Amino acid sequence: MISSYFFSKNPHRVKVFSLAAMFLMILILSSCGDDDEQPMIDFPDEVTLTFENLRPEGIEYNRNNTTFLLGSLTMGDVIEVDFDGNFTNFTNDETLLASAGIHIDYDADRLLVTSLDPGAFGGSKNIGGINAYQLSSKEKIAEVSFLDLLPDADFITPNDMAVDDEGNVYVTDFLGNVIYKIDPNYEASIFSDSAALIGPNGIDYHPDGYLLVSNLLASQLLRIPTADPSDISVVTIDDERFSGMDGIVYKADGSLVGITGFETLVELNSSDDWASATLDNSQALASPGTTVAVTPEGNNFALLTDVANQMVFTDWVIEQIVF
């Protein structure tokens, strides 16, 4: 117990005590803050998943539980993979027969998954749209079909997705040569069917209000304002190493990464708001791959999957690429 005499008879000591108490409190709060800090994540050089004929095409890194999410062109359902290659189903959806691109929308707590007919790339089109699942609970929250938008289309092949600041979803159709738009109420429309779209594949949203789209079959990168999709332009890239990209990711540092030629991860940067871009880094993959996932720390993980090879594979590798 501290005597009241200490406070009543010694005002200078009161001031000293108050300062000491404040300093002690700061130390305590600082110590608590250190305890609350997230530990550094020890990312693996690669993850090998053993799953016969999975044929994954889309990949995302889930920062909420440090796992990778993979879609499947053959199984449909999305699976969740840890750093040791152990996996469980994220979805158990009988309507999801084949999936290509997947996309995490953290703001809306949802995982977006393209849903296609298993024979879509041969012209079958009984299914074609996206499914949405709550990221935290894994519950299905929406199913959107594009079939009525283009009843006479030869192909319905939803491939990859991006989300803008208002929650609108943009979906590329690789062989249909269109980009769909889904509003926050899950109402679908045609965003663009421009003749400039020749195999639109990877897509991401730039915070300045436009989409960056990999026009794969034309070996181009496109810039499309969300407010005016008719104002479509080709990003000038004068580098022989660039031959179009499959999946792409716009990173927090302002660069764009993607896999070109199904064999090399490249990093593009722009100093003129993506009127043009330079290829600043490239790194060959260990084997053919399609797309890339990026962690909040900026790590690049390439999905090694040879989609053109019809052999039945058992092992699938997620490789960390360092430039």
CATH of the domain at 74: 2.120.10.30
Tell me if 185 is assigned to some domain: yes
Give phi and psi for 102, each to the nearest 5.
Answer: -130, 155
**pLDDT digits over 245-299, tens only?**
999 999 999 999 999 999 999 999 999 999 999 999 999 999 999 999 999 999 9
Tell me if 37 is assigned to some domain: no
Tell me if 312 is assigned to some domain: yes
> Who has greater pLDDT, 29 or 134?
134
Tell me if 44 is assigned to some domain: no
- Taking the C-alpha atoms of residue 243 and residue 214, their distance in angstroms, rounded to an integer, is 10
Of 30-34, 47-51, 219-223, the poorest mean pLDDT is in 30-34
Tell me if 97 is assigned to some domain: yes
Tell me if 69 is assigned to some domain: yes
**pLDDT digits over 85-106, tens only?**
999 999 999 999 999 999 999 9
Query: What mean pLDDT do residues 135-159 have?
Result: 97
Closest by Cα among 155, 161, 108 to 135: 108
Distance between first and last Cα of the chain: 63
Mean pLDDT across the chain: 90
Buried b / exposed e along 38-62 (16+ C-beta atoms within 10 A):
eeeeeebeebebebeebbbbbbbbb
pLDDT of residue 38: 65
Tell me if 63 is assigned to some domain: yes
Distances (CA, A) of 189 to 110, 179, 192: 20, 9, 9
Beta strand pairing call for 315-321 and 46-50: antiparallel
Domain total in the chain:
1
Distances (CA, A) of 85 to 43, 66, 68, 76, 78: 13, 12, 10, 19, 15
- Taking the C-alpha atoms of residue 128 and residue 126, their distance in angstroms, rounded to an integer, is 7
**What pTM was computed for the model?**
0.88
Beta strand pairing call for 87-89 and 76-81: antiparallel
176-145-140 Cα angle (round to 5):
130
**pLDDT digits over 302-315, tens only?**
999 987 787 889 99
Tell me if 36 is assigned to some domain: no
> Is the torsion defined by CA of 161, 183, 250, 82 positive or negative?
negative
For residue 36, name the pLDDT band (cuts at 50, 70, 90). Answer: low
pLDDT of residue 306: 85
Closest by Cα among 221, 208, 234 to 268: 221
Which domain covers residue 178, as residue numbers?
Answer: 49-321
pLDDT of residue 29: 42
